[in-house]
Amino acid sequence: MLQTQVQHQKLPLSKIIMRAIAITIGAILMAVGLEVFLVPNQVVDGGVTGISIMLSHLTGIRLGIFLFILNLPFVYMGYKQMGKTFAISTIYGIIILSIFTTLLHHAPAFTDDILLATIFGGMILGIGVGIVIRNGGALDGTEILSLVITKKVPFSVGQIIMFINIFILGAAGFVFTWDRAMYSVLAYVIAAKAIDTVVEGLEESKSVWIISDAAEEIGETINARLGRGVTYLKGEGAYTGDEKKVIFCIITRLEESKLTTIVDHIDSSAFLAIADIAEVRGGRFKKRNIH
């Protein structure tokens, strides 16, 4: 009997170096967001980071120590759930984060305006975390814990993270003040949006599916007027049994309005579905010049 073994493929040294550099930059940005903006103004983030900030405030022990110790169990969980590469990337990022939060502990606050500190601290922190996630690591164990919990309870990962952070951000009201807790919620929302932007990309590519009797005319027009390549797929109506030609293509959000106008002009009864996609690789996605 033949056995197929799937071997772990090692990354090229150049990619490992680039990944290490990216994770280093991401961890440093998170440290800046914390120690230069949020922590001096008693604003916390969600997850393990939020717990670490509050424990550091109550005990006087450096934030970096709590960030390292509290995240260690989640690194082990990450190894079990996501594999060796993820665990190594995560532990490396957490070490860099812990070192730089310690080095920046006595750095002067960039601003005393709590609203500005919340907005810019949340943005910088979120960008840093997003860079690390995009390069295969993590800087907070909450997401890893949620992956483990979701297997045992009827809730999604997102719902579990939300429940955990409600308690953590609520606790900030008792440790600091309730207005600081509200600012902490704002910082968390801004950071989450920044993470999504970095991980999903700025272009916000969209996939488009079009079913029409004038498929070839629509496809040629999209190619000519948008400079986008299209792929024709064969489809069959489940109810009628009629064969249909399906158009598939990738566009950016800036091109969505023009595409819908093209489709509506050629065949107003065409079926059109547009969905957000996180990343596009390979193929001939690059836009061709149009005249």
> Mean pLDDT across the stretch 81-108?
89
- Count of residues for the chain? 291
User: What is the per-residue pLDDT across 121-168, written as a single tens digit (0 to 9) for each?
Assistant: 999 999 999 899 888 888 888 877 876 777 777 776 667 778 888 889
Inform me whether the pLDDT recorded for 265 exceeds 60: yes
Tell me which of 3.30.70.120, 3.30.360.10, 3.30.565.10, 3.30.70.270 is the CATH number of domain 206-276: 3.30.70.120
CA-only gyration radius of the chain, Å: 24
**pLDDT top residue among 94 and 156:** 94
Q: Which two tokens stand for residue 209?
A: 């599916």
Query: 235: pLDDT confidence band, cut at 50, 70 and 90?
Result: confident
User: What is the per-residue pLDDT across 182-220, written as a single tens digit (0 to 9) for each?
Assistant: 999 999 999 988 888 887 765 567 899 999 989 999 999
Where do the structural domains in the chain lie, given as residue ranges? 14-200, 206-276
What pTM did the predictor assign?
0.75
- pLDDT score for 227: 85
Alpha-carbon dihedral of residues 116, 118, 120, 121, nearest 10 degrees?
Answer: 140
Inform me whether the pLDDT recorded for 277 exceeds 50: yes
Q: How many CA atoms lie within 13 A of 53 on its CB side?
A: 29
Query: Do residues 99 and 171 touch, judged by C-beta distance below 8 A?
Result: no
Q: What average pLDDT does the chain have?
A: 85
User: What is the per-residue pLDDT across 64-91, written as a single tens digit (0 to 9) for each?
Assistant: 999 999 999 988 888 877 778 888 999 9
Inform me whether the pLDDT recorded for 49 exceeds 50: yes
158 three-class SS: helix
How far, CA to CA in Å, does 63 sit from each of 34, 69, 187? Answer: 10, 10, 18
Query: 5: pLDDT confidence band, cut at 50, 70 and 90?
Result: very low
Instruction: Write the DSSP symbol of residue 150.
Output: T
Q: Which of 34-48, 193-207, 218-232, 238-252 has the lowest mean pLDDT?
A: 193-207
Query: 266: pLDDT confidence band, cut at 50, 70 and 90?
Result: very high
- pLDDT score for 286: 57
Report d(CA 241, CA 258) in Å as an integer. 32
**Percentage of the chain modeled with pLDDT above 70:** 89
- pLDDT score for 79: 83
